Amino acid sequence: MSSGEPLLELRGVHKSFGAVHVLQGVDLTVRPGRVTALVGDNGAGKSTLIKGIAGIHPFDEGDYAFEGGPVHVKGPRDASALGIEVVYQDLALCDNLDVVHNMFLGRELTKSGLVDEDTMESRARETLDGLSVRTLQSVRTHVAALSGGQRQTVAIARAVLWNSKLVILDEPTAALGVAQTEQVLKLVRRLADRGLGVVLISHNLNEVFQVADDIAVLYLGQMVGQVDAATTTRERVITAITTGHVNEGDAA
């Protein structure tokens, strides 16, 4: 795997919600062509970190660099303009809309000023076929009528629909069955192999060791360390997650 220029580089980012200091000077590096797993206990601040990257809860302070240059991400549009796509933990789907409109949410295609339903439907169909989603009867089904796993797939399909450079997935396999989980992990790997940067948040260390190239451990709003998956072990990662300390020789 190439490990050239970092795609995303965060240095000392902070985020508070009122009096709660959720992120306390976090560093994170994501390289293109690599899967970076972000792990940490419940409430460690993983979702908050990626919401900061996505611009929906912008960081209070800290440096945010993308493709080598400093950028200002103050809203979701800034992030998507850079080529950052996020699959949120709560999926962020509109139940009252069909699959097509959810996949193009906020970025509907238009032809002479009007929503181009046909092209949107074809592209949604192609993307879902590419993810080998077999259980979805029609892309015109309202999302409310889908199963948890199907909803998850729609959220993922939305992220890969665009020509993105960085795809972030917040616990994408939490609601999935065995086969679907395998599919998603394969997809994560394929995205990285195509040269994209991928951030995968997961509580399942089997998954993490199966696909990740780098592992970043967050503990109570601080980055314990970012290590190469090939040179560390499950035990060390578990220790880091639970105690916030890295064993000797592990720190990146």
Partner 1 sequence: MSVATDNTHDVHEGRRRPATVLSLWKEYVAKLRGGDVGSLPAILGLVALVIGFSSARPETFTKAFNFGNLIQQSAGVTIIAMGLVFVLLLGEIDLAAGYTAGTSAAVMCVLAVEHDWPIGLAILACLATGALIGTCIGLIVSRLGVPSFVVTLAAFLGLQGVMLTLIGEKGSIDSGEFVAKLNAETIAVWLGVIVAAALVVIYAVATFLGNRRRRRHGLTSQPTLLWALKSGFLAVLVGLIVYYLSIERSPNAHIKSIKGVPIALLILIGLALVLSFLLGRTKWGSHVYAVGGNAEAARRAGINVPMIQLSCFMLNSTVAAIGGIMLASYSGGVNNVTGGQTTLLYAVGAAVIGGTSLFGGKGRIVDALIGGTVVAVIANGMGLMNQPDRTKYIVTGLVLLVAASVDAISRRRAAASGRV
Ligand X SMILES: Nc1ncnc2c1ncn2[C@@H]1O[C@H](COP(=O)(O)OP(=O)(O)OP(=O)(O)O)[C@@H](O)[C@H]1O
Residues at the interface with Mg ion (CB under 5 A) = 47, 89
Closest CB to ligand X among 120 and 208?
208
Torsion of CA 35, 135, 89, 189, to 10 degrees: 0
- Told to check if 179 binds partner 1 by CB under 8 A, we report no
x-or-dash pattern for partner 1, window 207-226, by CB under 8 A?
--------------------
Q: How far is CA 78 from CA 27, 66, 84, 131, in A?
A: 20, 12, 9, 27
- Told to check if 75 binds partner 1 by CB under 8 A, we report yes
**Residue 217 contacts residue 185 (beta carbons within 8 Å):** no
Work out how close the CB of 50 gets to Mg ion at its nearest, in angstroms, rounded to a whole number: 8
- CA 104 to centroid of chain Cα atoms: 18
In the list partner 1, Mg ion, ligand X, none, the entry touching 138 (Cβ below 5 to 8 angstroms by class) is: partner 1
- Told to check if 145 binds partner 1 by CB under 8 A, we report yes
Q: Where are the alpha helices (DSSP H) in 89-166?
A: 99-103, 117-130, 148-161
Closest CB to partner 1 among 88 and 219?
88
- Told to check if 164 binds partner 1 by CB under 8 A, we report no
